[in-house]
Structure formats: structure tokens, C-alpha cells
Amino acid sequence: VLGNKCKAEDTVGYNRIIQVLANEYSEFKNCVCIKDINITTLLGKQCSINKDSISMETKLQWGLSALSKQAYARNRTCLDVNKECVEDEVCNKQLSLYLKVCSVKKCNMEECQAAIKFLYENMPFEVAQMMIFCDCIQHDESCHRAKELLHGKPCAVTAVPPPSCLTVVHMCEESELCRKKYTTFQSKCWRHVTKKCYDNEACLETLIKDDMPCSANADCKAAYVSNWGTMLHMECTCHNLPPEEQSLCKLFHHMLHSKSCFS
């Protein structure tokens, strides 16, 4: 029931929840649903309103979502993905919260970034991956609008004027949470770069971005998805930088925004 996270309307609802729990956690296999029982009795302290319980609740909801079971299919356009999310009750609910923050005329970048971070952190990785890595053919305007919608533009990623990629990385390194995500992203996607140069920028400058293969595995994709909603997701530029900073900036831009890793 909306507004009451610990109450379901009927025994059918309970049974669906218990079925998801039983499938996911062995300790729930002997649970049965009886009339008038409060779900707090079943979940105990986990049903209090805190971050962990919300994660549990979200996990239960996605367990009942048809979209999370179809997310392995490939070759969907962003328009297809957008339509499927809107038609799915669980996905639509989360997408609506994000659009409420990010689609207003006077959009606050930090609030929108937080909303896109919450959106993609609170859905199964398969669904997040499907939405983040969707694409469009060149002249399909409807698809490109759907892509912009799903990918947080312009509010979550576009600052005026755009920051340099050097500034973005240095700002990220000053934040403990962002630095942790960036370090994970480097180690999962660009390990040969960090292994060779660590954080030595003079060493990094010597690398040629076109010869930088990315690991492109599932861990790398998960690390890339985790960057969404942080400053690492922002569009950055290398224009107007002095020549001596260009090569390092272009390297950072390639690492943060190159889709060659996931094409």
C-alpha cells in the first residue's frame, strides 16, 4: 500500500511476496501466509524504514517485475527500452521519481545526479545495463529523445561551461565516495593503465588513447554503471586547455566516456 511500506492489502499479495522470498532466501521456504498477519511479523526489524529495508522492499518489487526477467534480450533501441520501462509498474515507478526531479525547467544538477544515481542503483543490474547501454540508429529522432531521457541529459551531465576532464577527475579524487568509485572503475576497466602508471599523471600522458583496450567484462560494466550520478558521469571537454595538458585530458575523456568499451 502506497505510503505504508509494511502493509499489503490481501493474502494474495503476501503469498507473492513470500514466494519471492522463498525463491531468494532458503530461510523463508517454510513460511506460510495467514489472514491478518502484518508483514512486520515476518520481516521483523528489516521492515523499519531505513536504507537496508528499502533495498529489501525494492528487491521484492523487482522480483515481481516482468521486465527484470526479460532484460537479457539484446538489440533493443532506447525507444524500445523506454517503452518497456514505462509499461512495467516497478520500472515506471522508479523512472517517474527520477523524471520528476530531472525534467523540470529549473533543474538542479546535484539533485538530478542524485536521482539518476538512485534510479540505477535501485534496479537489477541487468535492467540498468539494458537502459544505460541502449542506442539508436542515426536519424531516429524519437529514439534519441528517449535516449536523452534515460541517460540524464541535459540536467544531470551538462554544465555550462563544461568542465575540463582534468578538473572532473581531480574533483572526484577529493571526494571519498567518488574516489572509491573511480578507483574501482580504473581497476575493473583499465587495469593495464593503472598497473603501469598508478596515479602518475606524467606516466599517463605517455599513453596513446587509441591503443588502450578496455577489459569490457561484466565487472567493468558494473563499475561504469556505478559512475552514473557522480561527477564522473558529467560531460567534460579538453577545449581551451594549454597544449601540455591536452594528452592527459584526452586520455581521461577516453576512459570516462568512450563507448568502444561496450559497443
Instruction: Render pLDDT for 44-80 as a digit per residue (tens, 0 to 9).
Output: 433 333 344 447 888 888 888 888 777 655 678 999 9
Q: What is the identity of the amino acid at 129?
A: Q
For residue 240, the SS3 value is coil
Average pLDDT over residues 174-192: 91
What stretch of H or E contains 251?
helix 243-257
**Separation CA 261–CA 231 (nearest Å):** 20
In this predicted structure, the answer to whether residue 166 has a pLDDT above a threshold of 90 is: yes
In this predicted structure, the answer to whether residue 35 has a pLDDT above a threshold of 80 is: no
Q: Is residue 20 part of a domain?
A: yes
C-alpha cell at 2: 502506497
In this predicted structure, the answer to whether residue 101 has a pLDDT above a threshold of 80 is: yes
**Which residues are CB-neighbours of 11 under 8 A, at least 6 positions away?**
33, 34, 35
Highest-scoring range by mean pLDDT, 46-55, 77-86, 200-209 = 77-86
Nearest alpha carbon to residue 234 among 212, 256, 261, 214: 256
Question: Minimum mean pLDDT among 33-37, 179-183, 192-196, 222-226: which range?
Answer: 33-37
- Long-range contacts, stretch 46-54, CB < 8 angstroms, 24+ apart: 47/5, 47/6, 49/5, 53/5, 54/5, 54/122
Structure confidence at residue 6 as a pLDDT band (50, 70, 90) = low
What's the pLDDT score for residue 105? 82
Residue finishing a domain among 112, 134, 156? 156
> Can you give the residue range of the structural domain that contains 187?
165-257
Beta strands in the chain (DSSP E): none
In this predicted structure, the answer to whether residue 213 has a pLDDT above a threshold of 80 is: no
Residues 55 and 146 in one domain: yes
C-alpha cell at 209: 588513447
Q: Is residue 263 part of a domain?
A: no
Residues 37 and 89 in one domain: no
In this predicted structure, the answer to whether residue 30 has a pLDDT above a threshold of 80 is: no
Residues 31 and 75 in one domain: no
Residues 149 and 186 in one domain: no
Q: Is residue 56 part of a domain?
A: yes
Nearest alpha carbon to residue 46 among 56, 38, 37, 36: 56
For residue 237, the SS3 value is strand
What's the pLDDT score for residue 59? 83
What are the φ and ψ backbone dihedral angles of 188, each rounded to 5 degrees? Answer: -85, -30
Residues 45 and 63 in one domain: no
Contact 214, 190 (CB under 8 A): yes
Nearest alpha carbon to residue 39 among 66, 65, 26, 57: 57
Question: Minimum mean pLDDT among 25-29, 146-150, 182-186, 237-241: which range?
Answer: 25-29
**Separation CA 1–CA 235 (nearest Å):** 39
**Separation CA 93–CA 90 (nearest Å):** 5
Structure confidence at residue 40 as a pLDDT band (50, 70, 90) = very low
Which pTM does this prediction carry?
Answer: 0.72
Residues 63 and 145 in one domain: yes
Number of domains in the chain: 3
Residues 248 and 192 in one domain: yes
Residues 192 and 229 in one domain: yes
What's the pLDDT score for residue 29? 54
Q: What average pLDDT does the structure give for the chain?
A: 80
Nearest alpha carbon to residue 240 among 131, 164, 153, 167: 164
**Separation CA 163–CA 214 (nearest Å):** 24
